[in-house]
Amino acid sequence: MSIKKNEKTNDFFADVETDLKDLEQSDAVRQSKDLSNQLAVSRHRLDKLEMLTEITQSMNSTLNLTELLSDIVDSTIKLADMDRGFLMLNNRAGELKFRIARDSRQQNLGESDFEVSHTIIGEAADKGKPLFISDVDKNGRYKDQKSVLDLQLKTAVCLPLIRDDAVIGVIYTDASRLSIEIDEEDMPIFSAFAVQAAIAIENARLHGELILSKENLTRENLELKAVLSEKYEFSGIIGKSKPMMEIFSTIRKISPFDTTVMITGATGTGKELIARAIHFNGPRKTNQLVTINCGAMSPELLESELFGHKKGSFTGATSDKPGLFETASGGTLFLDEIGDMPLPLQVKLLRALQEGEIRRVGENTVRNVDVRVIAATNRDLSEDIKAGSFRQDLFYRLNVVPVSIPPLNERQEDILPLTLHFLEKYSSKMDKGETRIEPNAMKILLTNPWPGNVRELENTVERALALCGDSTTLSIAHFPQLNSGSALTGSADAGGALKPRMRVVEKQFIEEALAETGGKITKAAEILDVTRQHLHNKIKQYGLNNHKKK
């Protein structure tokens, strides 16, 4: 009996052992499946993170807001495995406004074609957290809504875009199928995506505002320059004195017509600049402005240059050559130093002006030309006419509209703006940055007689900048060719005009300081290194009371 009992016991334990083994195998299978599921989930998360990295790099590759919004919607659809999506952004009033809708094929959708549950959007915006809804059509909160029923929605994801604790927009995507790619556990990834999208949108907006601000600033600068041009310069001619204002007025009046102009003025006063202003403000500006110095070549060469020549007409004429009258036809011919033109050529020039016809040297063929002529001289042609060196009839033909440029020492008001213009011009050319001139040095420039006129002033400023090294301030030492003694002596010798000229300089300095400070007298006094009361007295003396006083 005992043996049988032992056998039954053994069988019992054998059965238990078998059951235990089966149980262990079952747990192992289950654990293996769980591990496999965990690996699958981890792989899924890793894929999403890799996708998020790629999307973030793509978003950061553009600052164009329109391109960026399309990229964000496409990326959201891809990341959430949805059929379509759209994006809304706050306007200046803080209201969410539709911006763009796209489908999974990256095609644009119209707002009218895109029905959406506003409840879902409102909930995500109010909570400030991503919203994931599966089985939308079965969800008690949304299943009865018309948009859900009409579109048979199954899955929806709505992401609020948040910057500085404020919702600046939302991204919404949905699908008429259940997504197998995402679930509630994926929402942290979508939160990270929404953060990056909000940053990218904000950067693009700021960039757009910066570009717009820059464009507005450029436009305002152009408008300001246009206003200043009307007042202080004309086609690069700097000046605000009364004589220059009169010249600018004359240019505006005569530029639209083909009237012949005679410009007179000392060497270096800018006669060619006046000629350019007349040409480029008239109807011929799209054609050539041709210039020639009549005193810079022999009579034979000057004739050939003006009227052209035929091959073999003289030694060296190896081919036919058109003259400057033909080259300038339809445009303007500027004859500088016309007083130096030989008498025989004056006859041919007179015919060209009267008849609009020229003949090349060595040729009998008459050629018609359509040229506006502007002449210039530093000579007194009335004296040349008396001396018989200049034809009176040619003078009357050229002197239809006379423009006389006074020397620089007769328009002291122009010295300061000219100096500042040349300072900026050559500082930029020499890559010296912002450079200024000390007041004492400026006084010398303002009181110098400038026998070489504007050209001498320009050369003086350029020379000082070239020799000043790394200094950003030009002092008296940088103008060795000028000194207070010679400058003041020159002014005194010129008819005892030192005091009146110094008053002009002083008034101009005060006007500049008041303009720079917006009329604030205290600050202007600091700039001028005088007391506030002294400046008040000077303002009264020069009749500058229209400036704002503070």
Coil, strand or helix: which one is 333? strand
Contact 362, 314 (CB under 8 A): yes
pLDDT at position 491 is 41
The CATH architecture of the domain made up of 410-541 is Orthogonal Bundle (1.10)
Cα–Cα distance between 475 and 480 in angstroms, integer? 10
pLDDT at position 423 is 92
Tokens of 50: 């890799």
For residue 495, what pLDDT band results from cuts at 50, 70 and 90?
A: very low
Once rounded to an integer, what is the mean pLDDT over residues 192-196?
Answer: 88
| Residue 232, CA atoms < 13 Å, CB-side half-sphere | 14
Per-residue model confidence as pLDDT tens digits over 303-314: 999 999 998 888
Domain spanning 63-208: CATH superfamily: GAF domain (3.30.450.40)
For residue 537, what pLDDT band results from cuts at 50, 70 and 90?
A: confident
Contact 95, 82 (CB under 8 A): no
Q: Quickly count: other Cβ atoms within 10 Å of residue 305's Cβ.
A: 18
Interhelix angle 187-232/2-59, rounded to 10 degrees, is 10
For residue 342, what pLDDT band results from cuts at 50, 70 and 90?
A: very high
Contact 156, 133 (CB under 8 A): yes
pLDDT at position 333 is 96
Contact 114, 151 (CB under 8 A): no
- The pTM (predicted TM-score) of the whole model is 0.51
Q: Is the pLDDT of residue 1 over 60?
A: no
Q: Quickly count: other Cβ atoms within 10 Å of residue 496's Cβ.
A: 9
Q: Is the pLDDT of residue 462 over 90?
A: yes
Contact 419, 240 (CB under 8 A): no
Per-residue model confidence as pLDDT tens digits over 406-426: 999 899 899 999 999 999 999
| Average pLDDT along the chain | 81
Q: What percent of the chain has pLDDT over 90?
A: 33
Residue 358 to residues 262, 300, 338, 419, Cα–Cα distance (Å): 21, 16, 18, 44
Beta-ladder partners of 358: 367
Give the list of residues 6+ apart from residue 208 with CB closer than 8 angstroms, or none: 63, 65
Q: Where are the beta strands (DSSP E) in 58-95?
A: 84-90
Is 87 exposed, middle or buried, given 0-12, 13-18 or 19+ CB atoms closer than 10 A? buried
| Sequence spans of domains, the chain | 1-59, 63-208, 235-406, 410-541
Once rounded to an integer, what is the mean pLDDT over residues 155-174?
Answer: 89
Angle CA 438–443–446, to nearest 5: 125
For residue 94, what pLDDT band results from cuts at 50, 70 and 90?
A: confident
Cα–Cα distance between 13 and 34 in angstroms, integer? 31
Coil, strand or helix: which one is 496? coil
Tokens of 313: 């007409």
pLDDT at position 403 is 96
Is 539 exposed, middle or buried, given 0-12, 13-18 or 19+ CB atoms closer than 10 A? buried
Cα–Cα distance between 428 and 309 in angstroms, integer? 44
Contact 356, 260 (CB under 8 A): no
The CATH architecture of the domain made up of 235-406 is 3-Layer(aba) Sandwich (3.40)
Q: How many helices and strands, by DSSP H and E, does the chain display?
A: 19, 19
The type of residue at 28 is A
Per-residue model confidence as pLDDT tens digits over 16-42: 566 666 655 665 555 555 555 555 555
Contact 235, 277 (CB under 8 A): yes
**Taking Cα atoms as reference points, which of 379, 396, 378, 399 lies closest to residue 387?**
379
